[in-house]
Amino acid sequence: MSTPPPLFDTALIRMRLRRARRIGYADFLLARALDDLGDRLGAVLRDFPHALDLGTPLPDAASWLRASGRAGEVCRLAPVPEPAVPGVALAVGDAEALPFAGARFDLAVSLLALQHANDLPGALIQIRRALRPDGLFVGCLLGGRSLTELRQVLAEAESEVEGGISPRVAPFAEVRDLGGLLQRAGFALPVTDVETVPVRYADPFGLMRDLRAMGLTNALRERRGRLRRDTLMRAAALYAARYADPDGRVRATFEVIWVSGWVPHESQQKPLAPGSARARLADALGTQERRS
């Protein structure tokens, strides 16, 4: 069976992330994700002797793990070269080709990185293999409803001005698929949930500047050249007409999907065998059982 061609230009993604960090990374989504990570790990009543920060755009997650006292040894796999963080072992690499021995970590976290994986199922399998039995993976990535407003107006403007459309906003994963991917990768007790983050801007160009400052501009391998100015201006006009609030500011939607799963271990909860229940559901609900 042939391997499908890569969807994303990985080298271009890294180049744009380096540029974003150089000009000043727009970290509002990452800061929110880091707060959520603290809440999610706060519900886990254990510490993690060996923790991995996998591909998070900035070293914030690794620094937080180190400062939290929840992790002993912290390792960061950075997507691009960066200064070392005190107390954190640093490597530079690709989330789809982990340079670690199997069963090394007790915890792996990844914030806003895996949406650009060309082989997300394969990346999840590698994460599971890098974790020890009863190890935990917690991550978030942009979901399919992200930037739906921008996607619609770009397609309409390009069709209207240039007589055709091309992909301008990357497709993102759907929450309904990710639980199954975690199970296929070998994770037990998989959980997925969604947070929708609305962000308001003075105009559509503010959104575009932030996307550039997050390294999230178009990195599809099959992309066309730069957007023509007249197409861009038409898209901005459509955006302002359709998605402006009464005060004139425009809305943009970011969908953040959280995923978590455990590497199987004998101590974990197991589903009961069919027919092993000791109480009738009808009794618990106070209803009369009807047999078909």
Query: Across the chain, what does the average pLDDT equal?
Result: 89
For 292, half-sphere exposure in the C-beta direction (CA atoms, 13 angstrom radius) is: 0
Model confidence, pTM: 0.86
Predicted pLDDT of residue 6: 82
Q: Using H for helix, E for strand and C for coil, what is the string for 207-248? A: HHHHHHHCCCCCCECCCCCCCCHHHHHHHHHHHHHHCECCCC
- The C-alpha atoms of residue 92 and residue 104 are separated, in whole angstroms, by 17
Where residue 1 falls among pLDDT bands split at 50, 70, 90?
A: very low
Predicted pLDDT of residue 269: 66
Structural domains in the chain, CATH included, are 10-147+171-198+255-265 (3.40.50.150)
Across residues 254-269, what is the average pLDDT?
88
- φ, ψ (nearest 5 deg) of residue 156: -70, -40
Residue in the structure block whose two tokens are 């915890």: 107
174: left (phi over 0), alpha (psi -120 to 50) or beta: beta
Predicted pLDDT of residue 17: 96
Predicted pLDDT of residue 5: 77
- Tens of pLDDT along 75-121? 999 999 999 989 999 999 998 999 998 899 999 999 999 999 999 99
- The C-alpha atoms of residue 107 and residue 89 are separated, in whole angstroms, by 15
* Contact (Cβ atoms closer than 8 angstroms) between residue 80 and residue 17: yes
Whether the pLDDT of residue 282 is over 60: the answer is: no
Out of 6-20, 39-53, 158-172, 219-233, least confident range = 158-172
Out of 36-50, 81-95, 216-230, least confident range = 216-230
Strands, sheet with 48-54, edge to edge from the N-terminal-most edge strand: 88-92, 71-78, 48-54, 105-111, 131-142, 250-262, 188-201
Burial (CB count <10 Å: 0-12, 13-18, 19+), residue 281: exposed
Residue in the structure block whose two tokens are 């180049």: 15
